[in-house]
Amino acid sequence: MDEKSYQDARQNERKRASFIESINLKEHPYVKRAEYEKIQQGEEWMFASCGYLFGKPRKAIIKVVPLAFSKLETLPDFLSCIYDHECFHVREFHSTRKGYVQVGLKELVLHFLSEGILQTKTLVRTKLMKESCEAEVRAYANQLSNANDRGISPAFKEILENRLESYKNAVGSLQHAIF
Ligand SMILES: [Zn+2]
């Protein structure tokens, strides 16, 4: 796995599955595997399928969707997302049972907040949204704290800083909506 093989996978969709299979996940025992998902879901780059099996957290599968390859310009940016964000979610879920991010939910909340139409009616949902956004704050903060070691690009660092700020604001607004 090197920069060239990543750039090849960016250019050629047929190389993406094998590129993702070559990612070393040995240090992440709670991750079963990472795989390419051809169908784009929302604005995600990749996501971890956390969940339970017979009451215990089961091993997660990290799905990488096409947007990851179009938006993440360098291998360090890509690995930062896999290791410092998705694996972080999985590790947190397994160790604390927190941070189970429902796909689509956090996008929905950001949309509501941007439209100014977040209602207090759906309190349970709001609490779930807040937990989900808090998990994102922790994951983006973790990504940023490892940014220099990982060698991510300055442009990508800025994107992460913006996302961290958005989720912090979302948590603040949701807090306000609950109490
Ligand atoms: Zn996340």
Distance separating alpha carbons of residues 157 and 167, to the nearest angstrom: 15
CA of 101 to the centre of ligand 1 (A): 7
Q: How many residues does the chain have?
A: 179
CA of 24 to the centre of ligand 1 (A): 20
pLDDT tens, residue by residue, 19-30: 999 999 999 999
Q: Tell me the residue ranges of DSSP E strands in 83-153.
A: none
Please measure the distance between the N-terminal and C-terminal CA atoms of the chain and give it in whole angstroms.
49
CA of 54 to the centre of ligand 1 (A): 25
Q: Which pLDDT score, from 0 to 100, does residue 179 have?
A: 60
Q: How many Cβ atoms from other residues are within 10 Å of residue 161's Cβ?
A: 13
Q: Which pLDDT score, from 0 to 100, does residue 117 have?
A: 58
Residue 91 belongs to what domain range?
3-178
Q: Which of 32-36, 123-127, 153-157 shows the lowest mean pLDDT across its residues?
A: 123-127
**Model confidence, pTM:** 0.85
Give SS3 for 14.
Answer: helix
Q: How many domains, in total, are found in the chain? A: 1
Give the position of tokens 């920069």. 3
